[in-house]
Amino acid sequence: MTRAQNVKKNLIFNVVKYVATLLLQFILRTVLIYYMGAEYLGLNGLFSNIFSFLNLAELGIGSAIVFSMYKPIAENDIEKIKALQNLYKKFYLIISLVVGIIGLILTPFIPFFMNGGVEANINIYILYIMYLCYTLVGYWSAHKRSLLFAYQRNDVENKIKTICMFFMTILQIVVLVLFRNYYVYFSISILFAVIECSTIHISANKLFPRINGKSIPLDDKTKKEIKKNITALSMHKIGSAVVFSTDNILISTFFGLTVLGVYSNYSLIITTIITFFSLIANAIQASVGDLIATTDVEYVYERYKKVRFIFAYLSALTTICLATLFQPFILKWTGDSAYLLAISSVMLSCGSYYINRMRTPVWIFKDSAGLFWQGRWSPIVESIVNLGVSIGCAFLCGINGIFIGTIVSTLVAPFWVEPCVLYKHYFKKSPKKYFLRCLLDFAIMATCGVVCYFVCSLIPSSDWLLLAIKFVVCFVLANALLILAYLPTGEVLDCIKFIKNSFFNK
């Protein structure tokens, strides 16, 4: 298939998976709220963050080996792909052992992360071990997932995940309604994780039967390149884990599980939108890697500019909708004002979301070009600033301090370092225009956002129909304002033509 065909296929299946996951998670979360309560939501958020942090043991090995597969796949070098797969498999066996051991060592310290303890009728140690088992299962098929990704066959994984998610959610809802037993509820997650990993493993073997069995040893040059990339990516992994996997831990530690449970509803919605961005990014990243491996820099740069604008537009649109609709939606969904955060917390969360979504096109092209080493210190600086500012501001500003820490740390390091690395080392251009354009994009988003917020505040949301009308007005008005704002640049029409040529022409 051509790159455009692969992107189209992957995007379609990613969207199907996204919509299905969105609906299923919304239904499941609603049942969890009404039958179990906020503390269980807090426990889920806390353990998810703890194990995201433990995934530091992965050290970016997956990204390094996926990048190393782009060229041999383009050249159909089966032996080298096989060697990389076997290396990846060995790495992940070691990683699963390390995560398992560290996870067990941390078990006695779990109560330390729960301010005020746990009122829910549950043994946190048993639940923690169950989450550890769930995490370890995912490592079994990691090397096969990487193979599907590098070959631009994300659609296979997405089909499997969507089907498993559907049946898992149905069973979990039945268990919650009939038994209200969280142990059985989460045991179903572990069971379907095993089923999903087994199916992905079998499917990858059927699709690529030649990439199995023993292989010749990797050459020294490739080993050296992988080692260098893993070193750099481990630093990126540490920074990312500290910034994005400690918010729930800090909120639980400082403010307790109930506050974390309240925030987790907002976090779920933000994460769902982030997943939407990720599905687009995942659909095109392998194709960008192939593009970089087979075409010249100027052609790649023209494609990058279009991708950058699409993400800037989507970032602005989703941020405006989140800021405008968060509070009325949460209130109507949960039916209790106790589940609402302060409006200042909502705006800070949306600001953090916007800044990090704007980074997406840069890291897609930077990682696809293999530029891991050049910005290796940025995430370390980011993580130190994040922890320092978040903890300091938590004492002064409450939960808002956690969000301020994330925003400040992002602006201090990666927001400007990553574009500088991409522009200097790959595009060979000055990043000045990029930063000026970011300021323009932010000004457009903020202006359109204020207008939408004011207009939608005039529409009541006392029932689901009025809330739906408010959503439609917000979405249509935001799009209209953004299109009008960007029309003078000519990028709107240019991108429409680009998308039409890429996805709708035979």
Would 197 be classed as within a structural domain? yes
The amino acid that residue 500 corresponds to is K
How would you write the pLDDT of the chain (506 residues) with one tens digit per residue? 555 566 666 667 667 777 777 788 788 878 887 787 666 777 777 787 777 666 655 556 777 777 788 788 888 888 888 888 888 888 888 888 888 998 899 999 888 877 666 656 788 899 899 989 988 998 888 888 888 888 878 778 878 988 898 899 899 999 988 988 889 999 999 999 999 999 999 999 999 988 877 777 888 888 888 877 777 777 767 777 677 767 778 888 888 877 888 888 898 889 888 877 877 787 777 678 778 877 888 888 988 998 899 999 999 999 999 999 999 999 988 887 888 989 999 999 999 999 999 988 998 898 888 787 787 788 888 888 988 999 999 888 889 999 999 899 889 888 889 999 999 989 999 999 999 999 999 999 999 999 999 999 999 888 889 999 999 999 999 999 999 999 888 888 887 777 666 655 54
Would 382 be classed as within a structural domain? no
CA 113 to chain centre: 24
Q: Which helix (H) or strand (E) holds 492?
A: helix 491-503
Pick from 432, 434, 454, 453: nearest CA to 442: 434
pLDDT value at residue 36: 77
Would 504 be classed as within a structural domain? no
Half-sphere exposure of 272 (CA within 13 A, CB side): 19
Structure tokens of 78?
């089966």
> What's the DSSP call for residue 424?
I
pLDDT value at residue 120: 60
Say which residues have a Cβ less than 8 Å from residue 302's Cβ, sequence separation at least 6: none
pTM score of the predicted model: 0.71
pLDDT value at residue 6: 62
d(CA 112, CA 11): 42
Domain that holds residue 284: 3-294
Pick from 279, 266, 264: nearest CA to 314: 279
Number of domains in the chain: 1
d(CA 126, CA 8): 44
Would 424 be classed as within a structural domain? no
Would 350 be classed as within a structural domain? no
Angle at 377 between CA 374 and CA 382, to 5 degrees: 130
Would 123 be classed as within a structural domain? yes
pLDDT value at residue 4: 58
The sign one gets for the Cα dihedral 299, 301, 307, 310 is negative
Say which residues have a Cβ less than 8 Å from residue 406's Cβ, sequence separation at least 6: 243, 244, 247, 352, 386, 390
**C-alpha to C-alpha distances, 18 to 79, 169, 390, nearest whole angstrom:** 35, 15, 31
> What's the DSSP call for residue 121?
S
Would 110 be classed as within a structural domain? yes
pLDDT value at residue 167: 92
Would 348 be classed as within a structural domain? no
d(CA 25, CA 17): 12
